[in-house]
Structure 1
Amino acid sequence: MLNIVLFGPPGAGKGTQSQKLIARYNLVHLSTGDLLRAQIAQGTDLGIRAKKLMDEGLLVPDEVVIGMIDNALQDNPNAGGFIFDGFPRTVPQARSLDELLAKHDEKINCMIALEVGEEELVKRLLERGKTSGRPDDQDESKIRRRVTVYNTETAQVAGYYAEQKKFHALNGIGEIESIFGQICGLIDKHKPAAAETPAEATKEVKA
């Protein structure tokens, strides 16, 4: 399997690149926010526990989130791998994720962070706010706060993966296809030999 951690501040284009990577490498998108909402909607034990904590204004503990990720791994045995979105955000979370993946004889292959300057991010998000309807895309102070939080979190986790020689930063400004090509170039250096893309598999069969 191919397992990627993709980071990028709000407005960096991470969502666009995620969808392209999912299609190219047959990955399952794992967003902790989506997982939480799904587990709560399904009324699972983890979902009930998470909802109770959230209703009390408390943070959902890492072990609950890891449990949800574990369920997702087991529910997608035919996936080519996973793209982790917004998780891990701390070094303890990164360690817990490594431990979980090891139980499945898997590992994180690489972490890629899209880098975009704060002023460009503010410009992009304010523009997006004109159509997104999201209040946090329309308030410059909130946008800058989100960027600061992201930078703080990424610095911690980036160091963890850098020690494993798995961290890569890319300039997130440019043509979408050009950035996508650079991301794929990095991923292809880290992916397991068996982790073919659908296009590669087709090419091999034709040959």
Structure 2
Amino acid sequence: MRIILLGPPGAGKGTQSERIVERFGIPQLSTGDMLRAAVAAGTPVGLEAKAIMEQGGLVPDTVVVGIVADRIEEPDAKRGFILDGFPRTVQQAEALDRMLAKKGIALSTVVELKVDEEALVGRIAKRAEETAAKGLPVRKDDTPEVFKTRFDAYRRQTAPLSDHYAKAGMLETIDGMKPIDTVTQDLFALLERHAETAAS
């Protein structure tokens, strides 16, 4: 089962990814982690990424796709994977599509956690208040202002991915505003369906 999980900051992708990993026994592939691992391992793509990062540049899509391509060849990803934090743009999605097609691999599904922006901002503000009330430091990301900025960036860059995958007939949506356990149940039901289809 090969899944891409989409959704804005605060939608609960991290929590749900952990539960999918536990339930289906497939790894969660974070581009940040993969990039660091490739650099540490000194792979050809990792060395290229390291040289770019040392000059303060942004790692180009071709390099990131190369790192994903290497990672999905590893034994633990043979049964499937969850892509987390990638693709972020339509260009990255197209590069990923080409790479997977070359390997003869197809995505099982792309799931978007749909959330209400106003309600999310309220949720984040409440979390910040509760954290402060306990005398604990509030995460920078947990201030409504910072959160709004991140949400705007998501809407501009990443939201068009929904259209990309919807046109490809791959997009499925889940209501991310429901209680966490209900979202998990909805997600599992959807993924079980794909697992059965793949097995038949």
Give TM class, smaller chain. 0.7 to 0.9
CA deviations over 1:41-81 (Å, ceiling 9, x no partner): 33333223223322333211111101111111111356421
Q: Could you tell me how far 1:132 is from its partner in structure 2?
A: 7.3
Q: Does the 8 Å CA contact 1:10/1:125 hold for their aligned counterparts?
A: no
Cα distance in 1 for partners of 2:192, 2:28 equals: 18
Q: Does the 8 Å CA contact 2:26/2:77 hold for their aligned counterparts?
A: no
Identity of counterpart residues, as a percentage? 39
Amino acid paired to 2:166: A
Q: Does the 8 Å CA contact 2:90/2:158 hold for their aligned counterparts?
A: no
Cα distance in 1 for partners of 2:144, 2:77 equals: 42
Q: Which runs of 5 or more residues in structure 1 are unaligned?
A: 197-207
Q: Could you tell me how far 1:121 is from its partner in structure 2?
A: 2.3
Please give the TM-score of this superposition, normalised by the length of structure 2.
0.85
RMSD: 2.3
SS of 1:27's partner is: coil
Q: Could you tell me how far 1:37 is from its partner in structure 2?
A: 1.8
Q: Which runs of 5 or more residues in structure 2 are unaligned?
A: none
1:20-39 correspondence runs (5 A): 20-39=19-38
Please give the TM-score of this superposition, normalised by the length of structure 1.
0.82
Paired residue for 2:92? Answer: 93
Amino acid paired to 2:152: T
Paired residue for 1:10? Answer: 9
Deviant stretches of 4+, over 4 Å: none
SS of 1:88's partner is: coil
Paired residue for 2:73? Answer: 74
More displaced, 159-168 or 114-123? Answer: 114-123
Number of residue pairs aligned between Structure 1 and Structure 2? 194
Q: Could you tell me how far 1:11 is from its partner in structure 2?
A: 1.2
* Residue 158 of structure 1 pairs with residue 162 of structure 2: yes
Paired residue for 2:107? Answer: 108
SS of 1:106's partner is: coil
* Residue 186 of structure 1 pairs with residue 185 of structure 2: no
Q: Could you tell me how far 1:123 is from its partner in structure 2?
A: 3.2
Cα distance in 2 for partners of 1:116, 1:183 equals: 15
Paired residue for 2:177? Answer: 173
CA deviations over 1:106-136 (Å, ceiling 9, x no partner): 1112111112222332233342693576423
SS of 1:183's partner is: helix
Q: Could you tell me how far 1:194 is from its partner in structure 2?
A: 4.4
Cα distance in 2 for partners of 1:181, 1:156 equals: 27
